[in-house]
Amino acid sequence: MADGERATWGEGLRFAFGTLSVLRVRVERWDRPAAGRAMTAAPLVGAVLGGIAAAAGAVVAWRAGGALGAVTAVGVLAALTRGLHLDGLADVADGLGSGRPAEDALRIMKQSDIGPFGVLTLVLLLLAQVAALAGEFGQSTARGSLAVLASAVAARCALGWGCRRSVPAARPGGLGAMVAGTVTPAGAAAGTALALLALAAAGSSDGWSALRLPIAVVVGLGAAHLLLGHCVRRFDGITGDVLGAMAETAATGTLFALALLG
């Protein structure tokens, strides 16, 4: 099928679930039009994965306390993505931490091992996520579940912004080159707006939560945007690892904001 042929939303969703989760779906198209649909619809993947992780975390928090519920939710989300975004975050941390020119930094990011910058970044980020979620689950299982959902959705909203048409690929080949530049600004904005409205509706039983959740997501996306700008300057574009790092940054920024907003 030619790359110039428009992809359907169904094809895009299968692409999104097939690449961003362990859920077994049949990916019918692997081309840039389908990739554009997939990255635009990625927040829906976040809602599904976040819902599964939130349910698991809520059950454990109800039976064993908020701290274990938080660990469960974070672990389930990692398992549902095969650690894809966490791996990208570690690679980007090693690439940026190396201080090397773009070509050398990209080569470091492609290596299979994780260096000290990557390990330190992963440890701090996971501690922050667990601590923030433990506080939310400590308030109530409903509040913890909404925090898990918001962070998962924010992570996938970030992917659409990272794949805007104004953002180039750092190198040919790989998932980054496949999805780079496939999403229109209007598409990224629409996906995020729908996600924010859905989260506001989910938190509508508590008037403050209806505002707190969207505000926190916007803060998380702002943090991911700062990382994107830095990576584009350092690497001359994005890679799949950069998108993964953006997702984890958006998720953690959202949880951090939720904690600060109380």
Q: Which residues of 178-211 are buried (b: 16+ CB within 10 A; e: fewer)?
A: bbbbbbbeebbeebbeebbebbbebbeeeeebee
* pLDDT for residue 164: 96
* pLDDT for residue 242: 97
Integer Cα distance of 231 and 242 in angstroms: 7
* Series of mean pLDDT values for 10-residue runs along the chain (262 residues): 72 93 88 94 97 98 96 98 95 92 88 90 97 96 96 98 94 87 95 96 80 96 97 94 97 97 88
* pLDDT for residue 121: 96
- Residue 169 φ/ψ, nearest 5 degrees: -80, 145
Residue with the two structure tokens 């454990």: 60
The tokens describing 90, both together, are: 């570690």
* pLDDT for residue 4: 58
Number of CB atoms found within 10 A of residue 91's CB:
28
